[in-house]
Structures are given as structure tokens and as C-alpha cells.
Structure 1
Amino acid sequence: MSDRTDRQSDGPRAAPRARTPAQALFRRLFVINGLVFTVGTLVLALSPATVSSPVLLAEVPVLTVGLALIVAANALLLRASLAPLDALAALMQRVDLLRSGDRLTDSGNGDLTHLIDTFNAMLDRLEAERSAASAYALAAQEGERQRIARELHDEIGQSLTVVLLGLKRAADRAPDDLREELHTVQETVRASLDEVRQVARRLRPGVLEDLGLQSALSALSSDFSAVSGVPVTRRVDPGLPALSGDVELVLYRIAQESLTNVARHAHATRVELSLTAGAGHLTLRITDDGRGGALQEGAGIRGMRERALLIGARLTLASAPGGGTDVRLVIPDAAERS
């Protein structure tokens, strides 16, 4: 019987349960209050001050001062203990998954370290999940753009070309009173064909795939100036590091969206586009001299932020009233992303 008991006692024991954050905080508050009241009791017991029964009027100030000291000490200790909760609540209110890196640092309060670490880990997980979801969504968007561009170029573009050739043959054989009218229709069809080609080129930047990023930015600036009438000053470093297709596409799309916003909202007379390489980073900057003002986080800007997150870049937008808009994309370690 004793042998069975000994064998049972040698068996595996249940692991002790870890304290939850609520239990740890309760224990800390309990210890703080206990220490405060213990110290107060020892002071009253060991000091020469005495309390009569009933309490004399001269003893009321002593009791009042003692109570005030105990309450003040308790308040200071509790405030120091719970201070990280205010910072955590402020972070919860301002957190934005499109602006990564905003985290709460450990203030040295051991009982709240677990809570802070858990919240920071949750933000890391949410940002990673959003980045993955955005990557899938943007990849699907680019695929759909390429499909539409191919259909515009191969089907609608070819059909308009056939119509244009047919109108030319008809105009050559038509009598003089109809020839001028056919030429007008022919020019309308030619203009429509040019617009279709421009739309297809904006949807699928073939020049980016064929000639590279510098040529694509040059063509983008030229198209913008031709449509809006606003000149674009370009400055691209000749010694740019080799970049991957994803990084080049993000740079092109952000430059494209920035120029589109200038044409729609800025009322600018001059635009500057630069792509420069610094010490370990690459910077794309688009500035204008338009009216500036408050920036509304619409679908275009949020799309730019999502694209920046995909390559680990930092996107900043500054727009002072009357001072134009400054869009800046900084890609750290650009050479390592090739």
C-alpha cells in the first residue's frame, strides 16, 4: 500500500498556473495598499503621538496630517503603477495600420509588461495580415488592369483601326460633297483610337517592362504635361541601384497617382519629380506649387500608403495652404530589394 502511494506521489504533477495580467495587477495594488497602511500603523505605534478616547481637539491635526500622508503616498504609488495604461489607451486611439511602427515601449512596470507586449504583438500580427491582404488585392488589381489593357489594345484598338482604314477607303472613293464629312469622322475615330491607347498605356505601363523605370517616368511626365499643360521638371540619378519589378511598379504607381492628384486638385503651374539615391535609401519626391491645403485620406492616398507598405517604404505627404504639396517616398535598403 505504501509502495503504491510512493509511486503515485512520484507521478507527473500539474504545472502551476501562470498569473494573468489582472491577477498580477490586483496583487500589486494589494501589496501597495498593504505596505502604505502597514507603514502608517507602525508610525502611529512607534511615534510619541497618542490618541485619546474620545479624541481631543489637539489630536485632530495629527490624525489629519497622518491620513493625508497615507492617502498621498497611496495615490503616488498607484499613479506610477497605472501610468502605462494611459499611454496604452492613447496608442489605441491613434493607431493606424497604414502607418506602421507605432508601438508602446515598456516603461519598466513589470506587472503591465505582459499587457504591453501582447498589444504590440497584436499590432505586428494585424499589420502583417493587412500587408499580405493588400499584396493579394494589389496583385489582383494589377492583373485586372493588364487584362483590360490587352482587351483595349487588341480588340477595341484593332476594331477602331479597321474602321479608320475603311473610312479612308470610303473617303478616297466618295464624291466631293461627302469627302469632307468622311474626313471629319475619320479624325474623330483617330482621336478615339489615340485615347484608347493612352488609357491602355496608363493601365499597363508597357514602357516600364520594356525600357525600365527611368524611361517610364519620363513617358509618364510627358503624358501628364501633354494632358494638363503643366510642365514637369525631372531629375533622376543616373547611378540608381538595380531594383526588383515590385519596387519599380510601386514607384511608378505612386508617381502616377501623385501626378493625377496634381492635375485634379492642385491648380499648379509647375511640378518637380525626382528620384535620388542616398546612403542606403532611395527617395522619390513629387512637389508642386499649387494651392495645397488639407489632405483628405481618399482612396488614392490610402492606395499609395498600402503600396508603400508592400516594399517596406515610408510615405509622407506635406501640404501647407498656398504652399503646394510635397509627396515623398523613402525606400530603405533599396539595393537589397533588387
Structure 2
Amino acid sequence: MTLYWRIFLLNAAVLVVAVLLLLGPVTVSTPVLFGEAQVLIAGLVVMLIANAILLRIGLAPLARLTRAMATADLLRPGSRTIVTGPGEIADLTKTFNAMLARLEAERATSSGRALSAQEAERQRLAQELHDEVGQTLTAVLLQLKHAADHAPQPVRADLRQAQETTRAGLDEIRRIARRLRPGVLEELGLHSALRALTTEFTTSSTSATAYITPGLPHLDPATELVLYRIAQEGLTNSARHARATRVEVHLRPLPDARVGLLVRDNGQGIGAAPEGAGISGMRERALLIGADLDIGQGPHGGTEIRLRVTGGKADDRSTQENVR
């Protein structure tokens, strides 16, 4: 039975009951007496209430489907609406679930292509910064040193200062290139890359520490890159926005051959602030490898980023448990 006929029959049933009451114990005079008017008004109220309740029951599956449509988030896949209700409502719910699954698959595919293009562009920029800008600044440093060695004393101090400024700029260019392309990840693996990353984020006001548990399962390069990028984004958010003084990065094996990444700080937390591009990027990267990502407040304040990903066989590389 279609939705149209169900609503029609519900209203018809209410009207039939009203007519039977009028033909039975309830009568109407001309003119209408006060007592009869009260009975009619009471009957009208009862009919409206009964009609509203019956319609609410009949349209409840549509209300659930509407809430599911309003709360659907492609960055949090897996939620589906329970198929209930007869006829076309059940078909509509099944169609919506199928559409949601198709959109999630298409989003994951497009995100994978976008992230691959982004990584390729980062690699190109890092290479150009290293080969072009880095070599140019190195040549400038040599020229400044030569000029300072042969310059008169009043000018030598200014040349030395220019030399130090250029050296600082060269170090910053190299730091940016390392962030764009984590060469240590490709050459030495994820463990060394996370240690180097936390060392890079350790300053006079912030302490960043990596805790890596031995016996981690083997991970493919794409998964290692996602773990590295999410840890990098978490450390960046802690340093820039959370005002944290301590940040911890934990990498450890989980049951069922899974690997867990935890980035925890003691900052001010995310609170009710909307998710920015950084968090959305982390969710897209997690979707790319089918990982579970949770971001929220820690038990003692601050922010916790938890990523759970499926690994492979046990890794032969061993590391110390508490590595700075």
C-alpha cells in the first residue's frame, strides 16, 4: 500500500467513526443546542488528535530518514538508516543507503587522487626548494664570506650579519622542504621519521616526545605516509593553536594486527570550535586507508587524536619503547 492510500484510509477511518457517532447516540438539532455544540466540538478535538497521532505513527519512518539525511557526513562513513516501514518508505530508505554508500566510495576515490596529487606537488616543491633556492642561498653565503674576508673592518660586521641572516633563511628553507617531503620517512622508515618530527617540534616552550612500542606489524608506504601526516598535523595544531607545553606521540600495536597512533597534548582543547581544514584533511587521509579516526578531548584535558589502522605481519625493525 502506498503512502497516499495509507493517509487516505487513516483520515477516512476517523471520518467514518465520526459519522457513525452522529447517526448513533449523538444527534444535532436546528438550531444547535449548547450541549450539542459542546459534544460536536469535543468530537472534533478528539478526531484531530486521533488523526495527528495516526499520521505521526504512519510517517515516523520518513522522519527517521530525514534525520539521517540531515546528519549524514561523508567524512564519518558507515552510518546507515534502518530499513523500516512498508512499501515505498522502505524502498526510499534502501535507495538512500545505496546512494550514501556510492557517495562514500566516490569521495574516498576522489580524496585519494587529490591527496596523491598533493603529495606529488609537495615533492616537486621540496625538490625545487632544495635544488634551486637552497643552492642559490648557499652560493650567496660563499660570496658573502669571501666579501667579508676581504672587506674593510667597518663593512665586515654588516657582511657578517647578512651572512647570518642568509644562513638562517637557508635553514628555514631546508626545514620547509623536510616538511613538504619527509625524506627520512622514505630512507629510514616511520619510527625514525616520528622521532625526527617530535625533535623538530621541541622548543623552549613545548616538549614533544615519541613513544614507540616494539613489535609493530609491517605497514605499506601509503599507510606510513598517512600516519606521518596525521602526526605532523596533530603536532602543528598543538604548537599553533592549543598553547600546549607537552605533546606526546604514541605508536603501538593493537589487537587484531592493528596499529594505533595517539597524539596527545595538554593544551586548551578544541572545545566547540568547528573543524578546520587541518582536521578535515586528517579525516580524508584516514578514509584513504580505511582507518578509524577519533578527535576529542582527553580525560585530563587537552586534545587527543586516535588513529587505528590495519597492519600486516610483524615488523622486524625494533625500537626502544620510550624514544625522545
What TM-score do you get using the length of structure 2 for normalisation?
Answer: 0.82
SS at 1:283's partner residue? strand
Alignment RMSD, CA only? 3.2
Instruction: Give 1:103's match in structure 2, choosing from 60, 80, 84.
Output: 80
Which residue in 2 is equivalent to 1:329? 307
Which residue in 2 is equivalent to 1:288? 265
Unaligned runs of 5+ in 2: 316-324
Shift of 1:168: 3.3
CA radius of gyration, larger in: 1
The structure-2 alpha-carbon separation of the partners of 1:175 and 1:86, relative to structure 1 and needing over 3 Å to count, comes to: same
Which residue in 1 is equivalent to 2:287? 309
SS at 2:275's partner residue? coil
SS at 2:224's partner residue? helix
Instruction: Give 1:214's match in structure 2, choosing from 191, 214, 219.
Output: 191
| Mapping for residues 79-118 of structure 1, pairs under 5 Å | 79-118=56-95
Which residue in 2 is equivalent to 1:264? 240
Instruction: Give 2:106's match in structure 1, choosing from 126, 129, 136.
Output: 129
Which residue in 2 is equivalent to 1:29? 7
SS at 1:107's partner residue? coil
Q: Aligned partners of 2:135, 2:45: CA distance in 1, in Å?
A: 89
Q: Does the alignment pair 1:249 with 2:241?
A: no
Higher mean alpha-carbon deviation, 282-291 vs 90-99, is at 90-99
Shift of 1:34: 4.9
Which residue in 1 is equivalent to 2:318? none
Shift of 1:223: 0.4
Q: Aligned partners of 1:294, 1:321: CA distance in 2, in Å?
A: 16
Q: Aligned partners of 1:320, 1:104: CA distance in 2, in Å?
A: 30
The structure-2 alpha-carbon separation of the partners of 1:50 and 1:183, relative to structure 1 and needing over 3 Å to count, comes to: closer
Higher relative contact order (CA 8 A, sep 6+): 2
The structure-2 alpha-carbon separation of the partners of 1:44 and 1:335, relative to structure 1 and needing over 3 Å to count, comes to: farther
Which deviations, in whole Å up to 9, do the C-alpha atoms of 1:15-47 show, x marking residues without a partner? xxxxxxxx82113333444566667888999xx
SS at 2:108's partner residue? helix
Q: Aligned partners of 1:109, 1:153: CA distance in 2, in Å?
A: 65
Q: Does the alignment pair 1:186 with 2:163?
A: yes
Shift of 1:90: 1.6
Shift of 1:231: 1.2
Which deviations, in whole Å up to 9, do the C-alpha atoms of 1:89-146 show, x marking residues without a partner? 2222222221212221113434410111111122122222222221111111111100
CA contact (8 A) 2:191 2:212 kept: yes
The structure-2 alpha-carbon separation of the partners of 1:235 and 1:53, relative to structure 1 and needing over 3 Å to count, comes to: closer
Identity %: 54
Which deviations, in whole Å up to 9, do the C-alpha atoms of 1:303-336 show, x marking residues without a partner? 11111111122222213799211111222x3339
CA contact (8 A) 2:217 2:312 kept: yes
Unaligned runs of 5+ in 1: 1-22
Q: Does the alignment pair 1:279 with 2:236?
A: no
Q: Aligned partners of 1:188, 1:50: CA distance in 2, in Å?
A: 101
The structure-2 alpha-carbon separation of the partners of 1:24 and 1:52, relative to structure 1 and needing over 3 Å to count, comes to: closer
The structure-2 alpha-carbon separation of the partners of 1:176 and 1:52, relative to structure 1 and needing over 3 Å to count, comes to: closer
Instruction: Give 2:122's match in structure 1, choosing from 136, 139, 145.
Output: 145
Higher mean alpha-carbon deviation, 214-223 vs 188-197, is at 188-197
CA contact (8 A) 1:230 1:271 kept: yes
Higher mean alpha-carbon deviation, 26-35 vs 184-193, is at 26-35
| Mapping for residues 39-78 of structure 1, pairs under 5 Å | 74-78=51-55
Q: Which amino acid aligns with 2:243?
A: H
Instruction: Give 1:239's match in structure 2, choosing from 215, 218, 225.
Output: 215
Higher mean alpha-carbon deviation, 78-87 vs 54-63, is at 54-63
Q: Does the alignment pair 1:318 with 2:296?
A: yes
Higher mean alpha-carbon deviation, 172-181 vs 50-59, is at 50-59
The structure-2 alpha-carbon separation of the partners of 1:219 and 1:64, relative to structure 1 and needing over 3 Å to count, comes to: same
SS at 1:277's partner residue? strand
The structure-2 alpha-carbon separation of the partners of 1:68 and 1:167, relative to structure 1 and needing over 3 Å to count, comes to: closer
Which residue in 2 is equivalent to 1:160? 137
Which deviations, in whole Å up to 9, do the C-alpha atoms of 1:42-84 show, x marking residues without a partner? 8999xxx556685998999998888777666554443222101
The structure-2 alpha-carbon separation of the partners of 1:267 and 1:65, relative to structure 1 and needing over 3 Å to count, comes to: closer
CA contact (8 A) 1:216 1:252 kept: yes
Q: Which amino acid aligns with 1:90?
A: R
Q: Aligned partners of 1:39, 1:52: CA distance in 2, in Å?
A: 14
Shift of 1:156: 1.2
Q: Which amino acid aligns with 2:283?
A: R
Higher mean alpha-carbon deviation, 166-175 vs 75-84, is at 166-175
